[in-house]
Structure 1
Amino acid sequence: MPQASSSGRQLLVGIEASGTFPVEYRFSHAQKGNRHLVVVFANFAAPADYGWSNGVFDKLRANVLWIRDKFDDNRSYYLCKGMDFSLEQSVVTLISNVMRALDLTPDSVTLWGGSKGGSAALYFGLKYGFRNIVAIAPQFLIGTYVRDVHPGTARYMLGEGVPEENVRAVDALIPDLLRSGANRAANIYLVSAVQDDQYPVQVEPFLGLFQPYENFNFVFSDSPHIADHTQVAGRNVPLLMGIANCLIDGIAPRLGFVRNGYEEPGRDRSAIDSYLSATSLVRGAEFPPPVVTAPAHQQEVRRDAVRLAGHARGAVRVIIWEHGKYLGQTDVAPDGSWSWDLGRAWSKGKHPVKLYAVDAAGYQSERVEAHFTAVDGADGPGAPVFAPSAGDRGPVLSTVGPGSSAPMVLEPVAHEQVMDSRIVFRGAAAGASQVGFRQNGVLLGGVAVAQDGSWSWDSGWAWGAGMHVVDVFAVDHSGAESAVTQVPFTVLNLSAGAPAAVFNGEY
């Protein structure tokens, strides 16, 4: 699902999953046909682990690729997990695929980052031959830095116990590239400051290694407005944006022939559009959104007793937010069920809460909304579930909450291809008083459970040809609702004379 920056510039999100490690990214198309790519690496304090994502690049005319440094909920400098550098290769695969889809070469790419991201920009730029490198207050001795300052990152990157030989090996990555003369033709812009407490150890000892480089530029700030390492980038933004715009136009501050303009407004974008679509973070029908079973739609709930619950097939977590503000998340149980509460009373009134599911690879479902009203006093009416029928009176309503084990469904068998449009559901639900049925979050009906735990339900209508997914749940004698058993089945053809209508939640 496309997002928008503060300027309205569209941001597309996705995952490059062809390598060993899935790599999450954000991408924004160039403006006015610009033919350049800026790749942005994140610092430790970057929002959501995307660097320079606070709108500073909104007016940049280039294509921009932000790469997230979050692997197994850890930071990695985009390098390794337990000294497994296939993580680095997965990152390079993403950059290369985007570059190829844009029909660019490394000469038309700028790698950009601050602090941790600056180290990554230097490393990847030197090693893989990218033309432009902008590194703001980087760490050269990466192993030592994470060992001393970020022990969690050190364990993730270097292994449990953080072996000293691994510290030394990662310390040597950037210095060894410089000593070997890797990518000497690169336009390198290294930014640091007197006030950066890391400068004497992490930068100054390595400046001499750049002496053979043809176009190395060292921007050394001395300003009373720079208090520490974290402010080096912020106080140099105007200068850095000037450098960025020059590089995008093909201009480096050196004598000689330069190419200006570098724009093709009418260029075919189908290749990059196809790649972004293929790696989109938000999946369609193949990854369904979470279903909310409680509160019921437009239900009134006591504001200190709101608990959202439901199921999310194929997901590992559900994310919740309201009015564009993140509220929280919850893990999904192995059977697909989930529940979440805010941890405090909700404000009084109507609440349109949005939710989406996330799978193990990091892909997201489409968004869904749950609407309820938070009220003072006693609970409002509960979520409706059909209780046992009483003669010809038809079903009556009961209220439910989280409870017992999911019912067993014997017919139809999951993924069965059914030849008849009249479907009878049969199964067992020990200890339950009734079993209910939902499709796409809409209540279909319910049936009483016999004393031996068996149950059987006929909807009374003909099911349309095609795929159906029905959620079956049990309700115990206290009114508590169980986890869901999901039953996908396909109706192949219809019985003679039966009406052909797919149930869509309306009678």
Structure 2
Amino acid sequence: MIKKQLVKVYFAWKDRVWKHQNGFKLNYLMKKYKKSTTLVVFFSAFPRTGMSATYNYVQTTKGLSTDRLFILDNFGHGKRGAYYLMEQGDRKLEEAVSDFLLEKMAIKTYEKIIFVGTSKGGYAAMYYGLKMNVDEIIAGAPQYYLGDYLTDVPEKKPIFLNIVGNPPKFTKKELNDLLPQKIKGDTSRKTKFHIHYSSEEHTYEDHIKYLLNDLKLAQFEVYENIEKYKKHQEVALYFPQFLIQTLQKII
């Protein structure tokens, strides 16, 4: 029943395909409102094991009368995601995503642009949010050191190798440095960060505490929403309410 409802939602939104001159194709959904001066862009987390990539927070945000753009990360191993960055060490995917975002951000004179995501999607929202110098980023339980995250258990090795190539064209450290370099290299300090996380699940000790420290050292404006759940997957239960409350405050 739920699957049928999701199919109806996607059909109503008209799943579209955008092709870059370098050959990469991006699937996306976009809803525009004539009077909206805000664009909210959503990046997807990893789907459940055995499933291919899906759009996130389409239903959660259906009550918002703002322009919304959802980008699918159906690349990488099993088409489950490549962090919107690269395949086999080739960064043409990042080139395509960057140009796509610039095109969509320019369709109106937006007064505010917000990037959103959880876990993998949170990483992408921060990476591209800093790259595009957007106004606000809302991230839930995001990774920070990408190389560490993709090599901490053997099950992630196919995802890691599909991103960096086999033999690897990028080292674990080079992946780790991607997002920290974006934070330290941003001189405008324009972007505001809204970070949801649990202090009781492993990504806090492994990633988020270092992310928060670097953001604050770089003098970004950071708002934290702290919960106490034990499993990383539980972000899907806690983040939607935080997302809606935050959007209602900042739009």
Task: Tell me whether the two structures share a fold, i.e. TM-score over 0.5.
Answer: yes
Which of 48, 62, 71 is matched with 2:66 structurally? 62
Q: 1:53 to 1:189 in 2, by over 3 A?
A: closer
CA distance in 2, matches of 1:181, 1:38: 21
Question: SS at 1:56's partner residue?
Answer: coil
Structure 2 residue 220 is the aligned partner of structure 1 residue 217? no
Structure 2 residue 234 is the aligned partner of structure 1 residue 238? no
Structure with greater proportional strand content: 1
Q: 1:59 to 1:85 in 2, by over 3 A?
A: same
CA distance in 2, matches of 1:177, 1:214: 12
Mapping of residues 482-497 of structure 1, within 5 Å: none
C-alpha displacement of 1:206: 2.8
Which of 126, 136, 151 is matched with 2:130 structurally? 126
Question: SS at 2:87's partner residue?
Answer: coil
Aligned to 2:35: 33
Consecutive aligned runs of 4 or more in structure 1 exceeding 6 Å deviation: none
> After superposition, what is the alpha-carbon deviation per residue over 1:214-249, rounded to whole angstroms, capped at 9, x for unaligned?
421122223xxx23111124223222201112232x
Which of 167, 173, 181 is matched with 1:176 structurally? 181
C-alpha displacement of 1:138: 0.6
**Normalising by the residue count of structure 1, what TM-score does the alignment of the two structures yield?**
0.44
CA distance in 2, matches of 1:44, 1:162: 22
Structure 2 residue 47 is the aligned partner of structure 1 residue 45? yes
Question: SS at 1:246's partner residue?
Answer: helix
Which of 163, 171, 174 is matched with 1:166 structurally? 171
Structure 2 residue 154 is the aligned partner of structure 1 residue 151? no
CA distance in 2, matches of 1:41, 1:19: 22
C-alpha displacement of 1:199: 1.1
Instruction: Give aligned pairs, total.
Output: 237
Aligned to 1:23: 26
Letter in 2 for 1:202: H
Aligned to 1:100: 106
Q: Is the 8 A contact 1:195 1:229 kept in 2?
A: no
Aligned to 2:121: 117
CA distance in 1, matches of 2:195, 2:174: 23
CA distance in 2, matches of 1:98, 1:239: 26
C-alpha displacement of 1:112: 0.4
CA distance in 2, matches of 1:110, 1:79: 19
Q: Is the 8 A contact 1:37 1:63 kept in 2?
A: yes
Q: 1:220 to 1:124 in 2, by over 3 A?
A: same
CA distance in 2, matches of 1:24, 1:121: 17
CA distance in 1, matches of 2:57, 2:178: 27
Q: Is the 8 A contact 2:43 2:117 kept in 1?
A: yes
Letter in 2 for 1:114: T
Greater alpha carbon shift after TM alignment, 116-125 vs 135-144: 135-144
CA distance in 1, matches of 2:115, 2:188: 13
Which of 74, 84, 94 is matched with 1:78 structurally? 84
Q: Is the 8 A contact 2:28 2:71 kept in 1?
A: yes
Structure 2 residue 18 is the aligned partner of structure 1 residue 11? no
**Normalising by the residue count of structure 2, what TM-score does the alignment of the two structures yield?**
0.85
CA distance in 1, matches of 2:61, 2:171: 36
C-alpha displacement of 1:118: 0.2
Q: 1:25 to 1:183 in 2, by over 3 A?
A: farther
> After superposition, what is the alpha-carbon deviation per residue over 1:43-102, rounded to whole angstroms, capped at 9, x for unaligned?
01277523424511111211111111012653210011122212111011222222222x
Question: SS at 1:88's partner residue?
Answer: helix
Question: SS at 1:191's partner residue?
Answer: strand
C-alpha displacement of 1:177: 1.6
Aligned to 1:229: 232
CA distance in 1, matches of 2:8, 2:37: 21
Aligned to 2:250: 247
Q: 1:12 to 1:29 in 2, by over 3 A?
A: farther
Q: 1:110 to 1:48 in 2, by over 3 A?
A: farther
CA distance in 2, matches of 1:76, 1:88: 10
Aligned to 1:208: 213
CA distance in 2, matches of 1:187, 1:86: 28
> After superposition, what is the alpha-carbon deviation per residue over 1:351-380, rounded to whole angstroms, capped at 9, x for unaligned?
xxxxxxxxxxxxxxxxxxxxxxxxxxxxxx
Higher relative contact order (CA 8 A, sep 6+): 2
Q: Is the 8 A contact 2:196 2:242 kept in 1?
A: no
Aligned to 1:138: 142
C-alpha displacement of 1:169: 0.8
C-alpha displacement of 1:166: 2.0
Q: Is the 8 A contact 1:38 1:63 kept in 2?
A: yes
Question: SS at 1:77's partner residue?
Answer: coil
Q: 1:196 to 1:162 in 2, by over 3 A?
A: farther
Aligned to 1:90: 96
Q: 1:183 to 1:70 in 2, by over 3 A?
A: farther
Q: Is the 8 A contact 2:151 2:160 kept in 1?
A: yes
Question: SS at 1:25's partner residue?
Answer: strand
CA distance in 2, matches of 1:119, 1:214: 17
